[in-house]
Homo-oligomer: A and B are copies of this chain.
Amino acid sequence: MTPAIAPDIAVTRSHTAKRHSILDAAAGVFCREGFAGANIDLIAAEAGVSRQTVYNHHGDKENLLVAVVREITERINAGVFETLATFPDKPVDLEAELVEFAVRLNQNCMCNRDGKFLRKLLQTEGERYPDLFAGWREHGPAKTWAALAARFARLALSGWLDLDDPDVAARQFLALVNADLQMAMIFGDTVSEEQLRAAATNAVRCFLRAYGKPRPA
């Protein structure tokens, strides 16, 4: 009885290993070719499994897309949450620490593979399958903005910032951080860490010129 668990685990491990492999490959192919252009044979080949296995695991092609989107949004949300936890709540050098935070945000959430995939899938399939992204739409960016706004509001309370509307400031911060990366992202280029840091520096400088206060005692 006790060892009965072992085989289940082993089977499941191989199972989930292939599952992940398939989801990874499917994400890549869906992202590259779009839903209509995605070829299940190609997904199977890139995942290193047979086509039948793909159908065994995820059934329909549409079902597979759903699974891919769920996987990616979950990872993205986790990354955002994790990164938000590193916000400089009690800064010493606010400018430098905000720059580092912005770099982390871009590296972990916006510019990585998942971020690129989600952005692209959203734009290509968002209108065709609105339900697909409904969950992310509500729990994704809105929650991020709110969380960031709360951090900024606290910085305002402790005298570091002078804010009218923390929500607007949060959105503007994110927009500024991406200002110099728009082209690279829209063209799918990979951005070096130098570019990322330069963009973050420009963004934070502007942000603090607008909302910064002389350092509190």
Contact = CB atoms under 8 A, between A and B. Distances in A.
A159 interface: no
Name A's interface SS: helix
Contacts of A165: 202
Interface string A40-53: 00000000000000
Interface string A50-86: 0000000000000000000000000000000000000
Nearest to A142: B183
A32 to B, nearest CB: 7
Contacts of A128: 32
Interface-central residue, A35, A141, A202, by most chain B CB under 10 Å: A202
Each complex incorporates copies of this chain amounting to 2
A126 to B, nearest CB: 6
Contacts of A175: 175-176, 178-179, 182
A120 B128 CA distance: 13
Interface-central residue, A120, A172, A183, by most chain B CB under 10 Å: A172
A217 B173 CA distance: 32
Nearest to A126: B187
25 contacts: A32-B127, A32-B128, A34-B35, A35-B37, A36-B37, A119-B123, A126-B187, A126-B188, A127-B188, A165-B202, A168-B202, A171-B179, A172-B176, A172-B179, A172-B203, A174-B179, A175-B175, A175-B176, A175-B179, A175-B182, A176-B179, A207-B210, A209-B209, A209-B210, A210-B210
